[in-house]
Structure 1
Amino acid sequence: MLLSKKIVNRFFLVVAVSLSLQSISQASVCDSIGVERKDGKLFVLHRIAAGETLYSLSRKYNVSVDDIKKNNPTWSEGLKVGQVLYVPSNAAAPTKATTTASATGKTHTVAAGETLYSIATKYSISVDALKKANPGLTNSISVGQELNLPGKAGSTTTTTTTPAKPETTGTTQTTSVVKETVEHKVAGGETFYSIAKKYNVSVEDIKKANPGVSSLKVGQTIKISNAEVAQTTTTATPVKPVTATTTTTTGTTKPVTTTTPAKPANVEADTIQLQQDKARLETMQTQTPATKPTVPASDFKKITENGFADLMADNQDTPKYLAYHKTAAVGTIIQLLNESNGIKVYVRVVGKLTDTGTDGKTIIRISKKAYERLGGTGSRFSATLMYIP
């Protein structure tokens, strides 16, 4: 009888532990103060902090603004610091990116933080090829969405040997670097710093050679003194006849199943978006006409502005990099470059810029923390900004 009682007690203990683990797993969503089940749905209880908006919350929890409004009738009275909102939870959504085999090829299940570009890069394909394999697919994808991956043809190997045409002379190219004064036509996205880096001169050298030029415009022509320019010399050399051998091989990739760990569920969605915007901005900034773009130009666009950056009148004590801008939406990530020293940071738009200075040339106002990080001195500095709308 005593033994039977112990077995029953252990059984109830195991059931209690299982229920506790299930509750913990359901609550492991990115939340502020906890979770609550209401009308059969799981909600994240979020306490409003200073500077937060419905838009920033929708990006943080990967839900739409309309979904938040539907579950919080008091939103029309305005958000207040300390107010608690019910945010629909996506805890049931897949948290891992998976690749499975199908009858026509491979498929990929979208995980949190992934984009068409990151998926295409993972499988060494282009974004256009991915879109062709998924008719109707747009640049906007959602967590848990299943995408078809382009298949590959069968394997064939062909080797042919043909006599090459006799050659009597060949060419040898020698490249050397010389310094001379050149004229440079400003292209979209270029700054004093990027042009100086291209010709291995300083920003001060460019401004000295172009007195009166304080900002750059697309199509403007400027002089670059002591610019390093590559010169190529071609020399003819005798070449003996050779036999050309061509080997062509195309391989077949068998469908495989792989599992890639997704980003932790407690990483904020807006932080993931910031990382993606940084990668895209860096890709656009480092492209040159001689380099084939790694991302199709149709996949996204950028906006570049030149002018002055000023200090915010408020938000002096915040440790965050915040900004006011005339047209960028709240929550937009902007890359800001100090023209005088080449330092750049990424700032988040939290409001609309209404004061553009007495001369109307202020393009952005930033928090004190961001201003100090950029090495700003005085009340303003010459800057270039770039962002993806």
Structure 2
Amino acid sequence: MASELTSVDSVGVERIGDKSFILHEVDPKETLFGISRRYNSPVSDIVNANPVLKGGLKIGQTIKVPYISMAEIPAGSVLHNVVPGETLFSISKKYGVTVESVMKDNGLKGNDLSVGQSLIIEPAVPIAVEKEPAPVVAVATTTVETKSETRAKAKEAKKAEDAVKEQEKIESSPKPEAIITEAPEVIAETSKPMVPGEWRSHTVQAGETLFSIASQYSARVEDLITWNALTSNNLQDGQVLKVGRGAMQESTVPVIGTPRVVSSVDEMMVEPADAATSGGFKNIKETGQAELIEGTGGHKKYLVLHRTAPVGTIMRVKNEENDVTIFARVVGTLPETGDNSKLIIKLSQAAFDQLKAVNGRFPVEVMY
């Protein structure tokens, strides 16, 4: 692998401690983003390995690009490079392993991944769990906290699965022609959820770089690239960039009325002409965090769990990191367990993938 990389580079390979680096000499017009794509190495890893980049990228400069050599990969394991839209959950399903094993093998502390990041995947050995129970030693080494989390996730996935089956049963039953029941409009007093503040912006000054701006606002370079749909790290004087959200604050949007039940599942695939006045929409808008409903990979419908919206409500969901929008059906109530207090919705696998989410938890705007 090292010989393949050095064949397109003019310097070579260096090993420092237990880490390997490609030594790359910067050519005219090259950018950090382009170099990261060339070697499948995240921009943040390159920046962390080269303190001199605080002053910007210079022609002729030699920088260290982190990479994982084949010799460092355990026997039987594979090297996976993260592509846009992938999550720890989707990668673990692809290789038939658990999220916990991927995090442990790669020393990850959270669910955040970077495009181009290299992960070592050690495929699991298939076990016929139906015929042979798990070894006692495996149970003994599992902590109480892990078992509790596993039971909570299994319970949540089972609840979502039952809600999906019930919804499919309702949709498959005969329906009266052109009958849509609309509930009377009632103002409901509820506690106000906490939502992120407005986007903060920064006007680029002469000599500033993505790295210096990210450091100024305690953000990541990859986030600045994602939030602003940048194709390189070249900036122009006067360019306005999104650099993060304001402090959490109470939502000012009241929960008013009960949306009507839509008569056809096809309606959630079609955006209405005017979302503020379209039938069933009461102009309720919320912003906050969204997350995947684990165990819904077998369904192709866009489904969500929400804290207050009635089952059957069609909800517009927008990924605020890339402005991708979908319409999804509410199939159950978001449980008040674990970290769910920090969320406003949970999404089925199909909805999560369609929104092209990069991280396991991401900001969304919902309207119904």
Instruction: State the TM-score, normalized to the length of structure 1.
Output: 0.31
Higher share in strand:
1
Instruction: State the TM-score, normalized to the length of structure 2.
Output: 0.33
